[in-house]
Amino acid sequence: MSFSYPKKEKLKSQKLIEHLFSEGKSVSAYPLRMVYLKSNFDDDTQFKTGVSVSKRNFKKAVDRNRIKRLLREGYRLNKSAYFNNISSSYTLMILYIGKDGTDFDSIDKKMKQLLEAFAKKVSLK
């Protein structure tokens, strides 16, 4: 698994997202929170992942874009380290629930915690 994060690994279908939020489970590492759901995809991707930042907490588009970019970057660089021994497919959504701005270092750190917690929970089953 590489560091890339192409279009087909992004969560875009509105149907899947609704399904995810109604039935998914979650883990969190403040200020991050991940909602996940086991599922199967028509194409051969193993994960479909989206990121989200609340408009309520960040009113300006620049701030939201900035955090979403950082979240994508953190996910992209760290996913291979934790997902290698997961075999089934998952839909994921990573939310930023904090209210203050942030930088890459803290996002990177929290992302590692979050992915580790997720990997642990999934492999227990």
Partner RNA sequence: UAAGUAAAUCGCCUUAUCGCAGAGAUUCGUUUCUGAGGAAAGUCCGAACACCAUAGUGCAAUCAUAGUGGCUAACAGCCAUCCAUCGAGAGGUGAGGAAAAGUGCAACAGAAAGUAUGUACAGGUCAUGCUGUAGUGAAACCAGGUAAACUCUAUGUGGUGCAAUGUCAUGUAUACUAGUGUUUGAGCGUACACGCGCGAUGCUAGAGGGUAGACAGCUAAAGUUUGCUGGUAACAGUAAACGUAGAUAAAUGAUAAGGGUUAAAACGUUACGUUUUAAUACAGGAUUCGGCUUAUAGAUUUACUUACUCA
Q: Which amino acid is at 119?
A: A
DSSP 13-45: -HHHHHHHHHH-EEEEETTEEEEEEE---SSS-
Strand partners, 25: 36
Q: Does 13 bind RNA (CB under 7 A)?
A: yes
Q: Does 112 bind RNA (CB under 7 A)?
A: no
| Distance in angstroms (rounded) separating the CA atoms of residues 100 and 12 | 27
Binders of RNA in range 50-89 (CB under 7 A)? 50-52, 60-63, 65-66, 68-70, 72-73, 76-77
Indicate which single residue of 18, 30, 84, 123 sits in contact with RNA (rule: CB under 7 A): 18
Chain positions contacting RNA, by CB under 7 A: 2-7, 10-15, 17-18, 50-52, 60-63, 65-66, 68-70, 72-73, 76-77, 93, 103-105
